[in-house]
Every structure is written in structure tokens, then in C-alpha cells.
């Protein structure tokens, strides 16, 4: 890093009430490339006069150009935040904001939003729930759909990033927390070569776009109940132009790093679903993308500490990011297909959401839920018309799920199907898909007495399913035939159901991450998964 000029006078001015019409409660946020001054409902962003290998902010005009580009990129998605770019000018009485004198520097003026609405704060207080995570994936899918396409070889783009990261890590050789850099470089380069043909094809087919570029929790905010991305990467068009799966991989990685894998699964599921299956095959590259994003966060921490004169302050977190970066792209066992069936209100979705993060590579199994697939493109709160539950429409939903399942399994990711599976043909079809894909298949049937199911349906206030008691009664008219899936008692505590299901699955289906890289469980003795399960869960009657 090179410090190009002294900005102390500008920083002192922007830290004073004179810059904020007399407001005195001024806060300052520092990053490796900027200062953000906060007071009242105003935020002023000043670019640091620094030079990195990938970013040159050493002149006033360069800093102005970057602020203008930042405004252009962010205002369409977040008009409630971004206002204008103003000069910091010199006058007889000192510096002023937007004056007529010579320009000392430039700032981006923004409307401040409540700190508690930042996604990092939402996550830290435990409020980043399934509904918000799903809405976030859907919002990012809409953001990407509007992004300009750039048909460029995806392999070359990631290769250039790896080369740049190697150079930057070289400037921190021996720094605290960087012991695994050489290992990461080898692992990531191998992963790139395995994925290059896929990445190049995605570039040709429109999956490379001018995206956000810096899409993690700190750059998302809730405005009027909707997730809004802001602070897109503006300083390098090459870095900002990327595979859109690589773009959202930053957020998924950030959630995994914070031990929020269930939320990471929901974000990814929502994003994939809104793409109508068009992004499923790209999942083969997700482990590499997660790895690169983790390495980037490690570098940002190193650079921020250096800019603040606090080298080594973030060593533990740097090491944690590099642990994740090294672990993510390692080859995994073959994917598995798991199905959860049962009548409406039996708790299928609760179990499926709880199981997904424990299955397969990061962030977990892709969840395909019939209630959500039915609403793809209409949002999770939309209300379907009755025809959605008609037999022909129901079969269409299953077949659409099955087609996506084939693609996702081929991409190396496990799939978890959440549907009633009352029809034995659909159960057989799911098992057949797994067989053709060379993937193990495991099905679970959740059961509870009729009165319990009816009471749950009447008590529902918010759920992706729109099934009611009448739909349940129609389901119960269809007798279950040849049910060979293990039975789960749906009346017990959901955590007990999850534990029983996980215990029934063999080691090879389970995630090998516990934090970073630690095995979760030992393999079971060599018994069939179904017999192992039935020894613990008694059969009960429905109705």
C-alpha cells in the first residue's frame, strides 16, 4: 500500500460540526479504501489517498471518478441511500462542503439508514431468519437479472483474480494469520483448472455480468421491509464484472464464516429458484467461488489493519478465512438425494430446512420444496389459486423439481426434496433419479394423527404452503400404498426428529464441516440405513 498524500485537514473538517450544519454527534467508519463520516441522517464518504495493486486513489480526480462511478452503480438499486457527489473546497475561512473555491477533495453524500437495519446487525442479534434469508436470495436474483451482460471467459476472470491475490498476499508474507496462503494457492489453482471449461461456458451463455462485486452482510440493508444491496465495487470494472454465482458466493461465504449455514442455504435456495433452474449447473463452481471470496476477505482484513496502523489485529479472523478458503474446494463424496414426505402440516418443511445445512458441501443441500417451486417468480408470500393443487398441476411441480434435481446432482451438490409424496409414482421417480445419477437415495415419511394435522393447519398464520383443512382431507382420501420409507413421528420435538433423521443417514451423506473442516460424526456400523432407523422409530397409525 502507498499513502499518496496527507488528507489530515480534510479528515479533520469532515469530523467537525461545520461539515454537518452544526451536528456534533459524528461517527467515523474506516475501511482499507475509505472513511465514512456519520451525523444525523447524513453520511459522507471520502476515498483514502492510497494505492494498492488493484486500486489507485492517489489523485483528487481519481477519487472523484471513483465516487461518481459508485453513485452510478448504486443509485438504481438503492435510491433511498445515494444522493450526490460534492467537492470539499478551500476558502478564506478554511474548508467547506460544496463551496466555490479550489477543490481539496470530493465526498459522496448519502442518506443515513438506521444501524439496526444493516444485515450485519440483523444477523448479530439473531434476526436473520428463514423468511428474510429467502427474500434476500430473491432480491439478489432480481438485482442480477437487471445487471448488464458481459460475455467474457469466466475462467480467465477467476484466473486473473487468483493471480492478483497471490501478488497481494506476497506483500504480507509472514504476517500473522497467513500460514495457509501457499496451501490455498495450490488448492484454488487446482479447483480452477477443474472448473475452467464450465466457467468459460457460463461466460459465453450470459452468466457473467457487471454485478455488485462486494456482496456481503455489511453491504446489505433492510429498507421498508425489503433487502437492498449497496456499496457495490466501483474501483475496478474487471473485478466488478463476474459470474453472478461468484457474486452471491460472497454473501454465502460470509454467512458460513459466521456459522450461519442455515441462512446461507436459504439465500442460495431463493436465488436459484428465482433463476428457474438456469443457475443450477453452475453449482459445480460454487466451492471454488466460496474459496476465493474467503481469501479476499482475509486480504481486506490485512489491508485494513495496515491502513489503520494495527497490523496483526485481525490475525485470528484472517486465519479463519484462510481455513475456510482451503477447505471449501476440496473434492467431496458423491452427492445424495434425500426426500421428506408427509401430509400437509406434518412438519416436512421444518425438517427439510433443518437437515439441509448438514448435508453435502457448503453451504449444504439445495432444498427444493414443492410449495416454493409452485410460487417461483411470484415471491414466497403470493397466494396461489386453487388449480395449483389440482392433480395435473401437482404433477407438473414434481416434474419441474425432478428436472432441477438431475442438474444439481450432476453439479455435485446434494438435493433435499420437500413434498407430500403421497403418490407412490412420485416416490419411485425420486429413487429412480438418484439411481440414474449414481447417487444414494434416502426417503423419510413424517406422520401424525389427523386431528393434530388439522389443528396445525387451523393455527397457521404464515407459511409457504397454502394448504388448508380441505386440502388435507383430499390427501387423506388417498391410501398410502407400498410405503417403504422410514417413518418419523411428527408429533415430537422438531430437534428430536432432525436428530433421528441425521442418525439414520450414513456418514458419506453428512457434511464434514463442524466450524471449519472438523468431522461431525463417525461412520455407523455397516447396517442398512432403513433397518438402522426402524430399530429406533416405531410405526404409528395415521388418522
**What per-residue confidence (pLDDT) applies to 517?**
36
Cα–Cα distance, 29 to 46 (Å, whole number): 11
**What per-residue confidence (pLDDT) applies to 401?**
95
Query: 10 Å Cβ neighbour count for 236?
Result: 14
Q: Which of 372, 359, 376 is nearest to 413 (CA)?
A: 359
**What per-residue confidence (pLDDT) applies to 509?**
79
Radius of gyration, CA atoms only, the chain: 26
**What per-residue confidence (pLDDT) applies to 476?**
74
Domain ranges of the chain: 2-112, 119-327, 337-534
Query: 10 Å Cβ neighbour count for 368?
Result: 27
3-state secondary structure of 84: strand
Q: Which of 397, 104, 124 is nearest to 277 (CA)?
A: 397
The CATH architecture of the domain made up of 119-327 is: Alpha-Beta Complex (3.90)
Q: Which of 327, 256, 243, 254 is nearest to 282 (CA)?
A: 243
Cα–Cα distance, 446 to 25 (Å, whole number): 56
Cα–Cα distance, 246 to 292 (Å, whole number): 9
Q: How far is CA 252 from the centre of its chain?
A: 3
Q: Are 445 and 316 in contact (CB under 8 A)?
A: no
Q: How far is CA 55 from CA 2, 32, 36, 164, 471, in A?
A: 11, 11, 18, 12, 59
**What per-residue confidence (pLDDT) applies to 395?**
87
Query: 10 Å Cβ neighbour count for 434?
Result: 22
Q: Are 444 and 502 in contact (CB under 8 A)?
A: no
Q: Which of 4, 107, 104, 105 is nearest to 49 (CA)?
A: 4
Residues 6+ apart with CB under 8 A from 216: 250, 251, 253, 254, 297
Q: How far is CA 539 from CA 52, 149, 232, 419, in A?
A: 65, 54, 54, 21
How many residues are present in the chain? Answer: 543
Which CATH code for domain 337-534?
3.40.50.300
User: Block means of pLDDT (10 residues each) for the chain, length 543 residues?
Assistant: 72 94 90 92 95 88 96 95 96 90 96 94 96 96 96 94 95 95 96 97 97 95 95 90 97 96 97 93 97 96 90 95 93 87 88 93 94 65 49 81 96 95 93 96 92 81 64 76 86 93 85 46 30 32 26
Give me the phi and psi of 233, to 5 degrees please.
-70, 120
Q: How far apart are the first and last CA of the chain?
A: 70
Q: Which of 213, 178, 160, 168 is nearest to 53 (CA)?
A: 168
**What per-residue confidence (pLDDT) applies to 283?**
97
Helix count (H) and strand count (E) of the chain? Answer: 19, 18
Give me the phi and psi of 31, to 5 degrees please.
-125, 180
Amino acid at each position: 500500500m502507498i499513502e499518496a498524500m496527507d488528507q489530515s485537514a480534510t479528515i479533520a473538517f469532515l469530523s467537525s460540526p461545520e461539515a454537518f450544519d452544526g451536528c456534533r454527534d459524528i461517527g467515523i467508519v474506516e475501511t482499507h479504501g475509505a472513511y465514512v463520516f456519520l451525523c444525523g441522517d447524513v453520511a459522507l464518504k471520502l476515498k483514502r489517498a492510497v494505492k494498492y495493486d488493484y486500486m489507485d486513489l492517489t489523485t483528487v480526480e481519481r477519487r472523484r471518478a471513483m465516487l461518481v462511478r459508485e453513485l452510478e452503480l448504486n443509485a438504481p438499486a438503492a435510491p433511498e441511500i445515494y444522493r450526490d457527489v460534492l467537492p470539499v473546497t478551500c476558502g478564506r475561512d478554511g474548508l467547506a462542503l460544496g463551496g466555490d473555491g479550489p477543490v481539496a477533495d470530493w465526498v459522496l453524500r448519502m442518506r443515513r439508514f438506521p444501524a439496526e437495519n444493516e444485515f450485519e446487525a440483523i444477523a448479530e442479534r439473531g434476526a436473520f431468519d428463514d423468511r428474510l434469508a429467502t427474500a434476500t436470495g430473491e432480491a439478489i436474483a432480481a438485482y442480477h437479472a437487471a445487471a448488464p451482460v458481459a460475455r467474457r471467459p469466466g475462467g480467465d476472470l477467476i484466473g486473473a483474480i487468483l493471480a492478483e491475490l497471490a501478488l497481494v498476499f506476497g506483500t504480507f508474507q509472514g504476517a500473522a494469520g497467513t500460514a495457509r496462503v501457499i496451501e490455498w494457492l495450490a488448492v484454488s489453482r487446482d479447483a480452477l483448472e477443474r472448473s475452467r471449461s464450465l466457467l468459460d461456458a457460463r461466460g459465453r451463455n450470459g452468466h457473467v455480468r457487471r454485478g455488485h462485486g462486494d456482496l456481503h452482510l455489511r453491504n446489505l440493508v433492510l429498507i421498508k421491509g425489503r433487502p437492498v444491496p449497496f456499496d457495490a465495487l466501483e474501483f475496478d470494472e474487471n473485478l466488478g464484472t463476474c459470474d453472478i454465482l461468484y457474486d452471491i458466493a460472497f454473501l454465502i461465504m460470509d454467512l458460513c464464516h459466521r456459522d450461519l449455514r442455515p441462512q446461507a442455504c436459504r439465500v442460495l435456495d431463493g436465488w436459484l429458484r428465482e433463476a428457474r433452474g438456469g443457475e443450477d449447473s453452475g453449482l459445480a463452481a460454487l466451492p471454488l467461488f466460496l474459496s476465493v471470496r474467503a481469501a479476499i476477505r482475509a486480504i481486506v482484513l490485512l489491508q485494513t489493519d495496515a491502513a489503520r496502523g494495527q497490523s496483526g489485529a485481525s490475525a485470528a479472523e484472517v486465519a479463519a478465512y484462510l481455513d475456510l478458503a482451503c477447505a471449501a474446494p476440496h473434492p467431496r463424496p458423491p452427492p445424495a438425494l434425500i426426500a421428506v414426505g408427509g401430509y400437509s402440516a406434518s412438519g416436512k418443511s421444518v425438517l427439510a430446512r433443518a437437515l439441509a445445512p448438514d448435508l453435502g458441501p457448503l453451504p449444504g443441500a439445495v432444498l427444493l420444496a414443492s410449495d416454493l417451486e409452485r410460487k417461483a417468480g411470484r415471491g414466497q408470500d403470493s397466494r396461489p389459486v386453487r388449480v395449483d393443487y389440482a392433480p395435473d398441476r401437482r404433477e407438473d411441480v414434481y416434474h419441474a423439481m425432478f428436472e432441477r434435481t438431475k442438474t444439481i446432482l450432476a453439479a455435485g451438490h446434494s438435493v433435499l426434496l420437500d413434498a407430500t409424496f403421497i403418490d407412490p409414482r412420485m416416490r419411485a421417480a425420486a429413487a429412480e433419479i438418484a439411481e440414474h445419477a449414481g447417487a444414494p437415495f434416502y426417503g423419510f415419511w413424517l406422520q401424525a394423527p389427523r386431528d393434530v394435522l388439522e389443528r396445525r393447519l387451523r393455527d397457521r398464520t404464515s407459511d409457504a404452503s397454502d394448504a388448508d383443512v380441505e386440502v388435507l382431507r383430499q390427501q387423506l382420501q388417498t391410501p398410502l400404498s407400498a410405503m417403504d420409507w422410514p417413518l418419523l413421528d411428527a408429533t415430537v420435538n422438531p430437534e428430536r426428529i432432525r436428530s433421528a433423521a441425521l442418525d439414520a443417514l450414513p456418514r458419506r451423506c453428512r457434511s464434514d464441516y463442524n466450524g471449519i473442516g472438523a468431522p461431525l460424526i463417525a461412520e455407523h456400523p455397516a447396517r442398512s440405513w432403513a433397518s438402522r432407523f426402524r430399530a429406533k422409530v416405531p410405526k404409528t397409525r395415521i388418522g
